[in-house]
Structure 1
Amino acid sequence: MSEHRIRGLLSDPPNEYRPVPQWSWNGDLTRERITEQLEQFKAQGCGGLFTHARPGHITGYLTERWFELWEFAAAESERLGLDFHIYDEFMCPGGVAGGNVTAQDPTLIQKELVLRKVGCGDPVSHADVLAWIRLDPDSGAARPAEEENATHEILLTWSATGDGGFPSPDLCRRETTEAFIRLTHERLAETSSHRFGRNVRLMFCDEPMLLTTRQGFPFSRFLVREFRNDHGYELLDNLIPLCFATDGAHHVRHDFWWTVNRLFNRNFMQPLNDWCEKHELLFTGHLMEHEWPWPNRNPDCMAGLRWMQAPGEDLLGFQYAPTDLTSNALYVMNLKELSSLVNQLDREWCMVETSGAAGYGAAFELFKPCEDLALAFGVNVIDPHLSHQTVAGMRKYDWPQTLSDHSPWWQRYRMQADHVSRVNAVLSQGREVNRVLVLHPTTSGWLHYTGPSFDPGDQATVALEQLRTSQTQLVAALYGAQIDFDLGDEFILEEFGRVANGRLVVGAREYDAVVMPSEMETVTDSTLRLLLDFSEVGGRLYSLRSAPALVNGRPTDSPAALERSVGWTRVADCKELVEKVRKHVIPYVSFPDGSALPGGIIWRRAVCDDGVIWFFCNPWQETIECDVRLPAAVLRELDTGTAEIRDLPSDPHDGWTTAPLRLLPRGHRLLLGQTEEQAATWTPQAPIEAAPRESPATVAVPLALIGIERVTDNLLFVDYCDVEAYGASHTDINTAAADTLNWRWQGFDGNPWHKQFRRTVIEQRSVPYTEVLVRYRFTVAKGLADNTRNSLAVCVERPWLYTVSLNGITLDADAAEKWFDEDMRRLSVGHAVKEGENELLLRAQPFHVLCEIMPVYVCGDFGLTAAARGYDVGLASPLGLGDWTQQGAPFYPGVVRYRYAFTLAQDAARLCVRVPEWRGAVAVVYLDGEELGPTPHPPFEVLSSSRVPAGSHELAIDVYGNMKNMMGSHHHDNLPLRWTYECAPDHMPPGADYQLQPTGLLTEPQVAARAAPCPTT
């Protein structure tokens, strides 16, 4: 990795290292909208897209039109220099083909083993009784029974509906995968295979799972046959030990999941791997890794990801929390699963789906620390979730936020994309090489799972929770002590493990020591053989427990031989383990005295030809400050904001160097450590100057406020309405409830746009006698000025489907201009509005399947006042410093500009502008109309790039709002999905009760004129 190479990567990172958002095709696709969004992705620094149908998709998944537009988008991407990758499903789970697999072959329907009490009600449809049992009411013990004496029956059930209206398929069946590939991948290859390996490089399969429900076991007659062939005994004769905690349960459950794991990997994952390899694509995606160690979705995620050429996982905004390492231990363990697999199988690429599903209030405050955390574990395909084509109708409730022109901060996304790209490009030039292997007790989880249907007392859940807690705490303790390690999955060890030269080798990695977790109750016979071989050559084995008493779930004393080996060390707890391992495997990074750094530091070490790349980041909320010792003679800092390289002042001694490390919340440092020989080939760089905290050359500059103004119209959000159809009516109900009610009136079970099968919803015939009438009410205060009245407009989704009127005056929808979304229009109403209550009426006759009842907006130059019902429209009051949601703009999502005047008595070499307290998505600083830069992260400072002359100047701060205040949810703080929006009061609540996100410049900015850079803070 030459100096020239590093400088090129920093200045212009190639596409393959840039963010690759998930692009949601969730409306009626047009070539114009495709090109418009692709040009935005390019402008905002993205490298490509994963493109897939999402809830609300109209065009028709897997139709001829779909493939035609997919090819058009791929061609447009190539024209723009973007990659255009495959997402092989209608949303998720993978393997369904939008419902087409089971629509074409119902014999492939996914089935489940569950428990049902005899005589509890109507017979279960779609079910076969496999066994009758009698449960002891006191002990809960199960025993076989005749039908007439049974208390419960074990049923083989399947769902009548699911994705696209059809049940999910059985992913243990090779026929499922063949149908999936034939319906999806082969058809895409027919139109676009000439792009494979060019700007189409990746194929994403999202969350394929054995069960889409959570009650029991994946099961089928086919599985019974395969189990018999694998293990030589009958599964149907052993349903009680499989489902209940009885004698023999451990080995039956181990054997059951062993067979399920084999079938899932051999019949689903491996064929997709082979198809991608044949077509010059990299198989990527992720499984249900966050549910470890529950096996019902995926028995062994690491064993499944083994078949991906670019394995992945997700780390979404509702999962990651900016608190501390311990709170995120499960996700750190998942990242370790991924990075370990990448290391051992020497994969070049790995992917993480990041940041999404945090709600409309999320922006850079989440994006950077979340994606820094992923980068620190070697992830080099950053896949931000989610970029919506449209947010009309129920589409707005699909896992927001959205990386699209709907979000006010989208035009500022480039800074995040460039940061990710630079870190990613540099880290990808090196490889992580770890020396400790931590066994991963996945198969021990197999021994305990029974499913809630068979576990009303949650005993199995308690055992699985204990296993999860123990393993995640172990991973967090080792990582937090800067011990370099990988996780060892038993099936990866079986395939790639061996002992050579006194080390335990797993594929491309060699380990000096092995750690056995406290909850590793069983090992596979292959794992035991490998550990015994390692112990025979003196290998170190640190164990948090005595040797397991089970092999393949069966009692045996053969593992006890490990305890008699010279390398066996029993430790009492994680603290003792860390102490002993650090003495034997001396960490590469530590305090100057060799002790462990603060546990919150997130770090990565990547070895390359010209040195060692270090990435430190702080994705938490408290500052981390310490001196660090690294094995290097020279340290260079790589600035991901400016792409500059500077020498870092340090103190080298005996092959180690010590340097200060200060990480503000959301801060990071990207360093290159080199030996003297490596550094000699590089051009000497100007050192980073350690600026004093107080400088006599620094002069505080007083500011005078000129003005504060909204850049765009204010908004009133109206999310309650009356709804009428066919003589029935409801008054003052939330639009989410009204929408569901109306769909039922129109003959549907609910909003059908969750997953349209082909074009079955959009092609439903309009019936002349159908109807719906929706009435929205808002109040306008007395004394409205003419200019305010003339600015007023209502913003409505798809007004062309209705007759629209305000206070009985028909509004011209045809003349309305597009507003906010391709399916929203702005209708001027100044001529029709009146003082007091106003009624906006939408009448559809006939009803159309795109008539979704959604909130409407009133926009204009006004202010809002909290009232007994929502907010009233009135005169706009001047804005001041502070939260603008409390100053008459509770729903305003856009930019507010704060302008100040100041005078310099003499030239300033540089100006430092600090924006110490503000709330919003990002604050951007301007000097005399020229942008100085954004300040999205602490210390919220920006520095002028050149001398500023004496005289009068204007400083402006643009604070960008968020979509939370515009789009909600406003009544319930839960996962950002439709059911959260449905959790609303029965009638419109007072305005004071709406949940809002504070936004605005809270205190005056600070300006300092100085001859040196801003002091480190």
Structure 2
Amino acid sequence: MNLEELKNPGVWYRPAPFWSWNDKLCEEELLRQIDEMYEKGYGGFFMHSRVGLVTEYLSEEWMRLVRSCAEHARKLGMLAWLYDEDRWPSGFAGGIVPLEKPEHRHKYLTLLKKDQIKPEDEILKKIERDGEEFYVVKRVMKLGDPWFNGTCYVDLLSRETTEAFLRSTHERYKKSCGDLFRVSIPGIFTDEPTYLRVHHPKETTLPWTERFPEEFLRRKGYDIRDHLEELFFNVKDYMKVRYDFFDVATSLFIENFTIPYAKWCEENGIFMTGHYMAEDTLRGQVEWIGAAMPHYEYMQIPGIDKLARHLEQVVTIKQVSSAAEQLGKKWVLCETFGTTGQHVSFLHRKWIADWQAVLGVTYINPHLSLYSMRGERKRDYPPNLFYQQPWWKNERFLSDYFARLNHIVTQGKREVKVLMIHPISSAWCVYSKFDDEIDKLNELFDTITKELVANKIDFHFGDEMILSKHGRVKEAKLRVGEYEYEVVVLPPLLNLKSSTVELLNSLAENGGKVFVLKDFRYGRFFPERVEGKKGRIEFLKKARVFETLEDLIEELKPFFSVDVLDTKTKENAKAVIAQKRVLEDGSYLLFLANTDIDREVHCHLELKEKRKHTYAIDLFDFKLVELKENEFVMFPASSVCIWVTDEEVPAEDEKVVSTGVLLEKEFDFETALNDFEVKMNSFNVLPVDRVEYFEAGGRVFRNEFVSKIWYEFYRLPDGTPFRVEYSFEVRKKPQKLFLVVECAENLDRITVNGREVRYERKSCIFNEEQNFLDVNFGKMEITDLVREGKNTVVLEGRKENNITGPGCHTRVKDPENHRPTEVETIYLVGDFSLVNVDETRYVIDAPKVPDHRDITRDGYPFYVGSFTLKKIFECKKDPGKRYFLKLNGVEAASVEVILNGKFLGVLFWRPFMIDITDALRNGKNELQLVLTNTLFNLIEANHKADVLEETFRRPKSFIDFEHHTDRYILLPFGLENVAVLSSSSR
């Protein structure tokens, strides 16, 4: 294994975020932001149109800026990825495609009653059911949808529509910067394409295209229009009809969208990447895309979307990694970290990335880095992972870790000997909006998938479409692409493709192992149908049938990748999941991740195959430590990479692996450090998020939260005059005080206590002298205008804004002369502390030294930035010992450790321990700790009572008035104390 390459992997292993192009774009600021990413260890970026974009999408100016960024990326050795749509879902080219020809517009079937039918609907069939009349209707999506820039979605079951999309988007990029393809532009991201965009909670909709009846007849031998009733009601041979319908729909989607898209990319030397809509569940796949896995065969870099602050989407990742590994695709992209919330910094991202890596993700695409945070943009499915975050200064550490992580999980070959048949064709058979059969099937599938992972029995899914092309029996094994499987598992299901039955019949005849798990929960699903019809399945006669999941897992134990016992329970440590990779020289890697973010696991490791040496590779600080004991503690969200080899390499005798693992069981206590000196490193902040008065267009609000006004403001016609008043209270006047207002330069007038303040924006580039946090947050000094007591800020201007709703915007007709205004929270920034009146109101007071255990509760509730703790302490140093700092009660995104002027490192997660031996002096020592937080306390949905419990943050979270509280929901920020520990073994 090349350890030098692992120490500093190249750009392909490094994160490449969604870079939100969401405003009037300034070339100089774009290049500055690329430099920020480069300095923080990112390997590239995806130029992604997002909510709030002012520069016209696909215009000459847009193309000029794309080219400029790609050229800058080339100079830096970075990857400048294209993105194929104005937001998402991909296919409509920002409205160009549906406007080109009516035939390109999205089509679907729906079941209606007579009074629901519209004049433009085409009735395909009348159905009488239990005395009621229903109509199967074909609908064409109307123009005028705000999400689609006043147009509509498109028909991706039509090859002609896909070709129009490629002409309008891809060919334009080729014309503008095709010479940079394969140079600094490696590929293009397609985002959530779907064969069915229209869904209603109580109405069934199904995918459709004009040629569907013709194609169905050619492929299935009968006219689907004679069997539309079976698609909606459980009558006649409905499972056969539904199987055939979704088989054809999925095939048409692949043939008419995915294949031509991927072919265009291949012919033009770039990669197709991205992800499809609703990959996570069987219901989602059937309703939106037919099946996820067959698409991955054609994508050069298949990918998925991992949203939310949890680890639920095991099936999603195993689907894409199975197809990629079987078909020899090195890179598996994951759009990740989106919707997790502004408090997500290092710990949560590592937790998610480690879990993804074990399951097969090899390319990390963080969501989201905002060009601008003004207005609605700051609410765009947080967190914002960029320069506006106070922790951004330490981002390089995590980028390097991610790069090494991706490098590890692309070395050698994953060891997998078990294949599980994917039940998507059974889902086609039972799909209905009127019952939950498909959800029960999904629940069983999800359960067995997670249990195999938790038991460290690695496996691939076998998609039946992929199996039909790439599967073959070799003696007593089933080979799919690059993998041979010793056992095939059928989870609870009821249907198989005829080609799958033939493969498994042959496998059974050749003595291969076929394990069939019965429906252990509902007693409904067992293989009895072939392509929707009941039929004989010969291999079942020779298959092993298991009544319970536990029995199946027991039989599969010989195929586990590694045995990790929890020494507290003496049982399998289910929270610890693993991937094993075999290298060319016969050595192997194990990557273990603790998926429990709350509990540590005391591990006992049993290796199936031993070698002369076992090393723990610290992927964070990059050290090799020889494992002399097979027991260690994995702290919450920790991970460890283990290399088992006959090769001897230089190694260190460390006690702490900086990815959250302790190799030493016990440490001696030396001393405790309390009562630190505290130094604030930035000004304090007071957000004023309640307005005393707002008036515009005949609408008046008094004493109201600004969140209640946002969408009233957005609905006003551009040019409407508005006036908004804010107030704040001062007990002790600060020596320095600044007012921060978004888009301040475009307001007609700003006054503080009746005296006018002028903000002159000197540059479109972020500058700390003119900006606070963000390029569009204007900062003005108002020290001389403020008085003790009540103070009033008045903003007057004319509404100009392209936001139309949560996460939604409209095209700006004249971007060059667009002068946007916002009605948002304003901020007071200065040298002060805050007095908490009643958790709903704060008063500016004299600056103070806060209690370092939690500055949020002691005068700095909305503070963003860092503060430094300093402590002088005595230590009698024993040369035969190693010494450690253990930080307790840490509530921070990161803690930088400096001892006697020497920077020792940054701590991000438990156990918050660091070796200080080399910097420690005998006698007097000076310790400095720099704690940094996140944007959460300042710009999150802080009045949503359940905001900390909500795992999926979205724009609507900020206007969830059902859960509104006048109190501020805030996170603590501080450190309780520090212990100095020692270990006698050096």
Output aligned runs, 1:584-603, within 5 Å. 585=559, 589=563, 597-603=572-578
What is the root-mean-square deviation in Å for CA atoms of aligned residues? 2.5
Q: How far apart are residue 65 of structure 1 and its match?
A: 0.8
Q: How far apart are residue 596 of structure 1 and its match?
A: 7.3
For 1:19, what is the secondary structure of its paired residue?
Answer: coil
Partner of 1:779: 729
Match of 2:955 among 959, 978, 991: 978
**Matching of residue 119 in structure 1 with residue 115 in structure 2:** yes
Partner of 1:33: 29
C-alpha contact (below 8 Å) 2:25/2:55 kept by paired residues: yes
Counterpart residue identity of residue 61, structure 1: Y
1:599 and 1:496 map into 2 onto residues whose CA distance is 33
User: What's the CA shift string for 1:822-871, capped at 9, x where partnerless?
Assistant: 11111122222233332211111475662222111111122223346532
2:137 and 2:315 map into 1 onto residues whose CA distance is 35
Q: How far apart are residue 507 of structure 1 and its match?
A: 1.3
Counterpart residue identity of residue 931, structure 1: F
Q: How far apart are residue 707 of structure 1 and its match?
A: 2.1
**Matching of residue 179 in structure 1 with residue 164 in structure 2:** yes
Partner of 1:133: 127
Q: How far apart are residue 1007 of structure 1 and its match?
A: 2.5
Change (3 A) 1:688 1:730: closer
Partner of 2:911: 939
Which structure 1 residue ranges, 5 or more long, are not aligned?
A: 143-149, 322-327, 651-658, 748-766
Q: How far apart are residue 426 of structure 1 and its match?
A: 2.6
Counterpart residue identity of residue 358, structure 2: A
Output aligned runs, 1:58-73, within 5 Å. 58-73=54-69
Match of 1:511 among 449, 467, 485: 485
C-alpha contact (below 8 Å) 2:80/2:184 kept by paired residues: yes
Counterpart residue identity of residue 128, structure 1: E
Partner of 1:299: 290
User: What's the CA shift string for 1:114-134, capped at 9, x where partnerless?
Assistant: 2333336xx647533333334
Partner of 2:217: 228
For 1:716, what is the secondary structure of its paired residue?
Answer: strand
C-alpha contact (below 8 Å) 1:915/1:935 kept by paired residues: no
Output aligned runs, 1:951-966, within 5 Å. 951-966=923-938
**Matching of residue 202 in structure 1 with residue 187 in structure 2:** yes
1:985 and 1:805 map into 2 onto residues whose CA distance is 34
Match of 2:101 among 102, 105, 116: 105
Match of 2:582 among 607, 619, 623: 607
2:799 and 2:541 map into 1 onto residues whose CA distance is 82
Q: How far apart are residue 491 of structure 1 and its match?
A: 0.4
Q: How far apart are residue 796 of structure 1 and its match?
A: 0.1
Match of 1:82 among 60, 63, 78: 78
Partner of 2:852: 881
Partner of 2:638: 667
Which structure 2 residue ranges, 5 or more long, are not aligned?
A: 519-524, 656-661, 762-768, 803-819
Output aligned runs, 1:42-441, within 5 Å. 42-119=38-115, 124=118, 127-136=121-130, 150=133, 154=137, 156-160=139-143, 161=145, 162-215=147-200, 216-287=205-276, 288-294=278-284, 295-318=286-309, 320-321=310-311, 328=312, 331-441=313-423
Match of 1:890 among 856, 861, 864: 861
Match of 1:705 among 667, 670, 675: 675
Paired residue total = 927
2:563 and 2:876 map into 1 onto residues whose CA distance is 49
1:104 and 1:744 map into 2 onto residues whose CA distance is 29
C-alpha contact (below 8 Å) 1:387/1:402 kept by paired residues: yes
Counterpart residue identity of residue 860, structure 1: G
2:498 and 2:669 map into 1 onto residues whose CA distance is 72
Match of 1:839 among 789, 792, 814: 792
Counterpart residue identity of residue 821, structure 1: D
Partner of 1:851: 821
2:527 and 2:69 map into 1 onto residues whose CA distance is 55
Partner of 1:639: 618
Counterpart residue identity of residue 953, structure 2: P
C-alpha contact (below 8 Å) 1:369/1:619 kept by paired residues: yes
1:933 and 1:590 map into 2 onto residues whose CA distance is 30
For 1:819, what is the secondary structure of its paired residue?
Answer: coil
C-alpha contact (below 8 Å) 2:895/2:930 kept by paired residues: yes
Partner of 2:689: 719
For 1:814, what is the secondary structure of its paired residue?
Answer: coil
Match of 1:575 among 550, 571, 578: 550
For 2:739, what is the secondary structure of its paired residue?
Answer: strand
> Please, which moves more after superposition, 771-780 or 840-849?
840-849
* TM-score of the pair, normalised by structure 2: 0.90
**Matching of residue 466 in structure 1 with residue 440 in structure 2:** yes
2:928 and 2:64 map into 1 onto residues whose CA distance is 47
**Matching of residue 902 in structure 1 with residue 892 in structure 2:** no
Output aligned runs, 1:814-829, within 5 Å. 814=760, 817-829=770-782
Match of 1:800 among 728, 733, 745: 745
For 1:533, what is the secondary structure of its paired residue?
Answer: helix
Output aligned runs, 1:748-787, within 5 Å. 770-781=720-731, 784-785=732-733
Q: How far apart are residue 393 of structure 1 and its match?
A: 1.3
C-alpha contact (below 8 Å) 1:704/1:902 kept by paired residues: no
Change (3 A) 1:317 1:958: farther
1:387 and 1:159 map into 2 onto residues whose CA distance is 33
* TM-score of the pair, normalised by structure 1: 0.87
Counterpart residue identity of residue 530, structure 1: L
Q: How far apart are residue 409 of structure 1 and its match?
A: 0.8
Counterpart residue identity of residue 479, structure 1: V
For 1:409, what is the secondary structure of its paired residue?
Answer: helix
Q: How far apart are residue 228 of structure 1 and its match?
A: 2.4
1:247 and 1:900 map into 2 onto residues whose CA distance is 80
Change (3 A) 1:449 1:94: same
Counterpart residue identity of residue 865, structure 1: V
2:289 and 2:60 map into 1 onto residues whose CA distance is 33
Q: How far apart are residue 691 of structure 1 and its match?
A: 7.5
C-alpha contact (below 8 Å) 2:17/2:366 kept by paired residues: yes
Counterpart residue identity of residue 524, structure 1: K
Counterpart residue identity of residue 758, structure 2: D
Q: How far apart are residue 370 of structure 1 and its match?
A: 0.3
Counterpart residue identity of residue 771, structure 2: K
> Please, which moves more after superposition, 240-249 or 150-159?
150-159
1:478 and 1:846 map into 2 onto residues whose CA distance is 56
C-alpha contact (below 8 Å) 2:592/2:641 kept by paired residues: yes
1:401 and 1:691 map into 2 onto residues whose CA distance is 34
Partner of 2:594: 618
Change (3 A) 1:218 1:691: closer
**Matching of residue 531 in structure 1 with residue 504 in structure 2:** yes
Change (3 A) 1:846 1:404: closer
Partner of 2:757: 811
Match of 1:949 among 914, 918, 921: 921
Q: How far apart are residue 72 of structure 1 and its match?
A: 0.7
Partner of 2:717: 746
**Matching of residue 648 in structure 1 with residue 621 in structure 2:** no
1:207 and 1:986 map into 2 onto residues whose CA distance is 30
Counterpart residue identity of residue 263, structure 1: L
Counterpart residue identity of residue 879, structure 1: P
Match of 2:453 among 453, 476, 479: 479
Q: How far apart are residue 238 of structure 1 and its match?
A: 1.7
2:291 and 2:697 map into 1 onto residues whose CA distance is 53
